[in-house]
Chain A
Amino acid sequence: MTTYLDHAATTPVRPEVADAYARALQVAGNPSSLHAAGRAARRVLEESRESIAADLGADPAEVILTAGGTEADNLAVQGIWRARAKEGRPGLVTSAVEHHAVLETAQHLAEHEGAETHELGVDVTGVVRTEELAELLAEQGERTGLVSVMWANNEVGTIQPIEQVASIAREHAVPVHSDAVQAVGQVPVDFAASGLDALSFSGHKLGAPIGIGALLARRGLGLVPVQHGGGQERSVRSGTLPHASFAALAAAVGAAVTDLAVEAQRRARLRDRLIAGVLEAVPDAELRGAPGAGRLPGNAHFTFSGADADALLFTLDAAGVCASSGSACQAGVQQPSHVLLAMGADDGAARSAVRLTLGWSSSEEDVEALLAALPEAVARARAAYRPRPSQQRAAVKEAS
């Protein structure tokens, strides 16, 4: 029996979404075709768009279909920044704890197109320093083309003061984007009220299939296309429109938003039981991220000193628990978490993280199964721990 505690990586497709998807797949046609079959598919697509827009406080014309969160982030960061860079605004501000879809895109623009990037620092719980943003824009607002700060962090679950970020950016007339991939479906998201110019989200974090997402982009926001072709989606995202996937996305957003208040409460209760249980089972485990209402209801994140994340994930996996470190891994090799490093953790801690995330299908049994397996898993991982040569050297240096 497998205990799945990695809903932030992806969550199972909801049954009602699978039904909606299967129904939409019966509608054969290319939504861009002018004949009857095309019109039928287009109708599915546009009804989905309207439904998504209504659920997230957006106008249907503001919904741009993408293949997922990474594409939406790329479109927003590249598309908005390029449009502003042409007007003499090369500044590109992100936070230090953004997803790689934003950070790597910004770095690429810095290396190849002259973007002047700035990463905002965070406090020890992972909250972005808004005063740093205010100071920066007071100085360089006129040269800044985009501010991109995530709504909630994918590793430690910290919810950012996104309305404050948006309002500071707007004071200086700088467009502001937010990667809300982890937020949509977990916390209330109202695009119009947020003050944002653009917002990314992804279907498979909500119970839709992998491979569909959207960028909400305010009307009139200049956006240079990244993907060129037939001119679909306001001419900024070419490609044949996958109406069935979009219908699944609409069903997933609908399901997640409809019972959000009740489900968020249920999930937060489970999370609090999980956090209390972990701290009781392994008293020196360290909870990372913001406490209580400051973190996503489905997120718990710990570091275990004197253990490597990959050994912890291995021992948990062997005990039937699917978990994650939450941070990037390159061809299977766990990398130290840039999020924890930005929060002030040392290299050892940044390599010892376990993220446990709950979703719509999580139950008390999942939490209890984790708590039953955890002490032994941590003990084994700690027994297997050897400091890396570079860590040994750092320790010697520190001692001398």
Chain B
Amino acid sequence: MRVLAALSGGVDSAVAAARAVDAGHDVVGVHMALSRSRAQHRNGSRGCCSIEDASDARRAADVLGIPYYVWDLSEEFEETVVADFLSEYEAGRTPNPCVRCNEHIKFSALLDRGLALGFDAVATGHYARIVDVPLADGGTRRELHRARDAAKDQSYVLAVMGADRLARSVFPLGEVASKDEVRAEAAARGLSVSAKPDSYDICFVADGDTQGFLRECLGARAGEIVDAEGTVVGEHEGAYAYTVGQRRGLGLNRPAADGKPRYVLEVDPAANRVVVGPSELLSVSEIAADDVTWLAEDLPADQWVQVSVQVRAHGDPVPARVRREQDRLLTELASPLRGIAPGQSIVLYDGTRVLGQAAIARAGRGAAAQVVGA
């Protein structure tokens, strides 16, 4: 195959590209320039967008003996991922920009351009597995599964890509035992990025200060923090900067009557109000979600099916039953969960297999139908 290897400048994508070369593919490395004002140097654990990272990617391509190009997708990134990030927070939800980047940039803008230029697939350094399951009729079904290394698994942020995108993707790191194995392999291959620190923070948020970034982009909008009874217990500079389930940084000036810690229960952007309360009130058992991506065509729609669900990037899967109705997904959790933030993805699993995902619209304690109608 002609494979386009996305090279961030980090160790994972470099080793993924190396493995694609070893697998006999005709590989070309592409670094995506996603920021319109790129810094010269990498700063702490932030992202992959500095010119230093582009140089690291180039050196990796040199060592692997593959061509290397930089593609400028900064405008697309700005107008999809960053704009979505801001409008979601502004609407009181908590977006996951990595999901949006996979949806709009890596497995969309990059993949489309690659396909048009004659490539067959995109290889990335994501930790996830693609499994082709033989079928009775002689065909195969392509499935997305969790990575072998559960600690590094990234299937949660990949579930957003549909079956057609999955058919054009290669994840060479899905079977590795651990990140240490990847680093050791990078060192053995002479890749200079073998000891480069991992990136954690959101790549376009300077200093990892999300609240500061939001305030800078959206402007301060002072408002009240109230408890479940409506009593004012504090002030904020913009309801958009709060996330359901958040406990830290509330700056409340009145202690709760019962002395228990309080959490964000609700973010109401229209009233610019943040509602806080005790952790019990965070418990939800039903979730309504939309923008469904369905990877398991073998599963029926309009019926309740038993699955496990994951509602945040680093959360554990929990048992639930789900029902898909066109572009909507209803979920009843087997036991309540706390702090489910609208805007995050709900990803459905059968064991290690990813069945689909949707964007959480609402969560509540009532019947699913009521929640949806609310």
- Is B one of A's binding partners? yes
Nearest B residue to A384 via CB reads B116
From known contacts A331-B54, A332-B69, A386-B109, infer whether A380 and B116 are also in contact, taking CB-CB under 8 Å.
yes
**A372 at the binding interface (Cβ < 8 Å):** no
Nearest CB of B to A333, in Å:
4
**B304 at the binding interface (Cβ < 8 Å):** no
Residues of B within 8 Å of A332, CB to CB, are: 31, 33, 54, 58, 69-70
Q: A370-394 interface mask toward B, CB cutoff 8 Å, 1 = contact, 0 = none?
A: 0000000000110110101110000
**Residue pair A380, B117 in contact (C-beta under 8 Å):** yes
Nearest CB of B to A79, in Å:
28
Nearest B residue to A311 via CB reads B117
Nearest CB of A to B283, in Å:
42
**Residue pair A331, B33 in contact (C-beta under 8 Å):** yes
CA distance A386 to B79 in the complex (A): 14
Nearest CB of B to A380, in Å:
6
**A334 at the binding interface (Cβ < 8 Å):** yes
Residues of A within 8 Å of B67, CB to CB, are: 317-318
Q: State which size class the interface on A falls in.
A: 10 to 19
Nearest B residue to A317 via CB reads B67
CA distance A332 to B78 in the complex (A): 19
**Residue pair A386, B70 in contact (C-beta under 8 Å):** no
**B215 at the binding interface (Cβ < 8 Å):** no
**Residue pair A389, B76 in contact (C-beta under 8 Å):** yes
Nearest A residue to B118 via CB reads A380
Residues of A within 8 Å of B70, CB to CB, are: 310, 331-333
CA distance A388 to B75 in the complex (A): 7
**Residue pair B112, A390 in contact (C-beta under 8 Å):** no
CA distance A314 to B79 in the complex (A): 25
**A324 at the binding interface (Cβ < 8 Å):** no
**A315 at the binding interface (Cβ < 8 Å):** yes
**Residue pair A333, B72 in contact (C-beta under 8 Å):** yes
CA distance A334 to B72 in the complex (A): 8
**Residue pair A314, B54 in contact (C-beta under 8 Å):** no
CA distance A331 to B72 in the complex (A): 10
Residues of B within 8 Å of A333, CB to CB, are: 33, 70, 72, 74
Residues of B within 8 Å of A318, CB to CB, are: 28, 67, 118
**B221 at the binding interface (Cβ < 8 Å):** no
**Residue pair B33, A315 in contact (C-beta under 8 Å):** no
Per DSSP, are chain A's interface residues mostly helix, strand or loop, or mixed? Answer: helix
Residues of A within 8 Å of B189, CB to CB, are: none
Q: B27-49 interface mask toward A, CB cutoff 8 Å, 1 = contact, 0 = none?
A: 01001010000100000000000
Nearest CB of B to A391, in Å:
9
Nearest CB of B to A360, in Å:
27
Q: Among the listed A334, A383, A390, which residue makes an inter-chain contact with B75, where contact means beta carbons less than 8 Å apart?
A: A390
**Residue pair B75, A314 in contact (C-beta under 8 Å):** no
Q: B74-114 interface mask toward A, CB cutoff 8 Å, 1 = contact, 0 = none?
A: 11101100000000000000000000000000000100110
Residues of A within 8 Å of B109, CB to CB, are: 386
Residue of B31, B74, B79, B116 most packed against chain A (CB within 10 A):
B116
From known contacts A380-B116, A381-B117, A386-B113, infer whether A310 and B72 are also in contact, taking CB-CB under 8 Å.
yes
**B313 at the binding interface (Cβ < 8 Å):** no
| CB contact list, A218-235 vs B, under 8 A | none
Residues of A within 8 Å of B281, CB to CB, are: none
Residues of B within 8 Å of A390, CB to CB, are: 75
Q: A330-347 interface mask toward B, CB cutoff 8 Å, 1 = contact, 0 = none?
A: 011110000000000000
CA distance A331 to B53 in the complex (A): 10
Residues of A within 8 Å of B33, CB to CB, are: 331-333
**Residue pair B76, A314 in contact (C-beta under 8 Å):** no
CA distance A282 to B242 in the complex (A): 56
Residues of B within 8 Å of A386, CB to CB, are: 109, 112-113
Residues of A within 8 Å of B78, CB to CB, are: 389
Residue of B54, B70, B72 most packed against chain A (CB within 10 A):
B72
Nearest A residue to B83 via CB reads A389
CA distance A334 to B78 in the complex (A): 18
| CB contact list, B58-77 vs A, under 8 A | 58, 67, 69-72, 74-76
Residues of A within 8 Å of B54, CB to CB, are: 331-332
**B372 at the binding interface (Cβ < 8 Å):** no
Nearest B residue to A331 via CB reads B51
Nearest A residue to B26 via CB reads A318
Residues of B within 8 Å of A389, CB to CB, are: 75-76, 78-79
**Residue pair B117, A315 in contact (C-beta under 8 Å):** yes
Residue of A318, A333, A380, A383 most packed against chain B (CB within 10 A):
A333
Residues of B within 8 Å of A314, CB to CB, are: 69, 117
Nearest CB of A to B120, in Å:
14
Nearest CB of B to A390, in Å:
6
CA distance A380 to B116 in the complex (A): 7
| CB contact list, B170-218 vs A, under 8 A | none
CA distance A390 to B76 in the complex (A): 9
CA distance A311 to B112 in the complex (A): 13
Residues of B within 8 Å of A384, CB to CB, are: 112-113, 116-117
CA distance A209 to B250 in the complex (A): 64
CA distance A331 to B112 in the complex (A): 23
| CB contact list, A97-121 vs B, under 8 A | none
| CB contact list, B116-141 vs A, under 8 A | 116-118
Nearest CB of B to A6, in Å:
16
Q: B9-30 interface mask toward A, CB cutoff 8 Å, 1 = contact, 0 = none?
A: 0000000000000000000100
Nearest CB of B to A260, in Å:
36
CA distance A333 to B77 in the complex (A): 15
**Residue pair B69, A310 in contact (C-beta under 8 Å):** yes
Nearest A residue to B74 via CB reads A333
Residues of A within 8 Å of B31, CB to CB, are: 332
| CB contact list, A306-358 vs B, under 8 A | 310-311, 314-315, 317-318, 331-334
Q: Chain A residues in contact with chain B, CB under 8 A?
A: 310-311, 314-315, 317-318, 331-334, 380-381, 383-384, 386, 388-390
* Supplied contacts A310-B69, A318-B67, A332-B69, 8 more A-B pairs, CB within 8 Å: A331-B70, A332-B33, A332-B54, A332-B58, A380-B116, A380-B118, A383-B116, A383-B117
Give 25 pairs: A residue, B residue, CB < 8 Å, sorted on A: A314-B117, A315-B117, A315-B118, A317-B67, A318-B28, A318-B67, A331-B38, A332-B31, A332-B33, A332-B58, A332-B69, A333-B70, A333-B74, A334-B72, A380-B116, A380-B117, A381-B117, A383-B117, A384-B116, A386-B109, A386-B112, A386-B113, A389-B75, A389-B78, A390-B75
Top 10 A-B pairs, shortest CB-CB distance: A332-B70, A384-B116, A331-B51, A333-B72, A389-B79, A383-B116, A388-B75, A384-B117, A333-B33, A389-B75
